[in-house]
Amino acid sequence: MNAPASLDMAAIPERIQSEVQRAIQRSIKGVEYIASSGPSLGSTPKDILQVRGTMNLYHYRPIADEIYRVPILIVMATTNRGYILDMVPGQSFIEFLLKRGYDVYMLDWTAPKPEERSLRMEDYVLDFIPDCVRRVQRDSGETDVSVIGYCFGGVLSLLYASIFPDGPMKNLICFTTPVDFREMKLFHNFSDRRYFDVDRLIDSVGNVPPEMILSSFEMLRPASRAASQVQLWENIWNDEYVKSYRMFDRWATDTLPLAGEYFRTITKDLMWDNKLFNDTMSVGGRKADISKITVPILHAVAEHDHIVPYDAAKPLIQKIGSADKEEVMLKGGHVSLVAGANAIKRLWPKLDLWLSERSI
């Protein structure tokens, strides 16, 4: 405890003045906040190469005079929108890659329609990803393709790489990708097979509603939403804070539904039977053994990831067959690992350093 004697009496009027000014600013900016629509996200110029139901393939227009030989295909997580990697200029991972001379494509998802409830894991791994890889090859004129998978996009990329170990994947980069699903303890408990009737759920609702996905994410940190709103009010005078809050809040709440059959497989094969970790996973009758993957791989994990805890992600590098493999643990959480001020100074330069040497 500090003694009251250490109180700086001279600073008190200045402090009161500053707080009064902030209170006035809060009222003005609070009204502005409600009336305005927030920053425009995902605006890096791109061309849509293919739209097929829930699947969207974009090509971002190169901005460097000279680019690396090997193009990159980013595989986004199926629960969220890809614009987390393309927030606003100066805070866009895509823009960073383009400026550094990469040719960037993204496999992004839109909400599956009710009739897409029957999409299965094999549609994602044996159809959507190979189709996008082929289109990237055709568009770029290159045979080799580097793949970056974020979160469950990383799981899909791992499954794809393990089923097609002979190429054309040149490099694999996974961001915070789970392999041991038992270690996702709360998700594992929510989907406890004794109480969670996944068949009944899918047969009732078709596609898993986005509200359910969002609430299961929010349940991992139940106090954080209320606390973040208090913090917003405290900092509403600060334009940069508000801009950042709006970007991340919009993205976090813009959750996608999941195709019913696909979710059924995730629950049964990954959550219940932990097949990826146990080396018993197969997709459409084809064995998906990650020890068969031999391409260079970088796995970036976050020190304070509450969605994919480190213990769930750790076995990836241990199990993978590649000789050239590296895991890098960086400060931050599941989202701040890839986007925002933290990512700009930590993950992005690390990725560039690793990938540039392997993209020629």
Q: Which residues bind other proteins (CB under 8 A)?
A: 2, 6-8, 11, 15, 19, 47-48, 51, 62, 64-69, 99-101, 103, 113-114, 140, 142, 185-186, 189-190, 192, 194-197, 200-201, 204-205, 212, 219-224, 227, 230-231, 234, 356-357, 359-360
- Nearer to other proteins among residue 126 and residue 132 (C-beta): 132
CA 350 from centre of chain:
17
Contact 161, 295 (CB under 8 A): yes
d(CA 236, CA 191): 38
Q: State in angstroms the smallest separation of the CB of 117 from other proteins.
A: 12
Burial class from Cβ neighbours inside 10 Å (0-12, 13-18, 19+) for residue 352 reads middle
Q: State in angstroms the smallest separation of the CB of 282 from other proteins.
A: 28
d(CA 304, CA 223): 16
Work out whether the CA dihedral 294, 123, 155, 244 comes out positive or negative: positive
- Nearer to other proteins among residue 196 and residue 310 (C-beta): 196
Q: Which residues contact 125 (CB under 8 A, 6 or more apart)?
A: 156, 159, 160, 163, 283, 284, 288
Q: State in angstroms the smallest separation of the CB of 185 from other proteins.
A: 6
Q: State in angstroms the smallest separation of the CB of 84 from other proteins.
A: 22
- Nearer to other proteins among residue 70 and residue 179 (C-beta): 70
User: Beta-strand (E) ranges in the chain?
Assistant: 46-52, 55-60, 72-75, 104-109, 145-150, 169-175, 282-283, 286-287, 297-302, 325-330
- Nearer to other proteins among residue 34 and residue 360 (C-beta): 360
- Nearer to other proteins among residue 3 and residue 35 (C-beta): 3
Q: State in angstroms the smallest separation of the CB of 286 from other proteins.
A: 32
* Length in residues, the chain: 360
The DSSP symbol for 112 reads P
- Nearer to other proteins among residue 197 and residue 279 (C-beta): 197
Residue type, 133: V
- Nearer to other proteins among residue 102 and residue 164 (C-beta): 102
Q: State in angstroms the smallest separation of the CB of 352 from other proteins.
A: 9
Q: Are strands 145-150 and 282-283 parallel, antiparallel or unpaired?
A: unpaired
Q: State in angstroms the smallest separation of the CB of 291 from other proteins.
A: 29
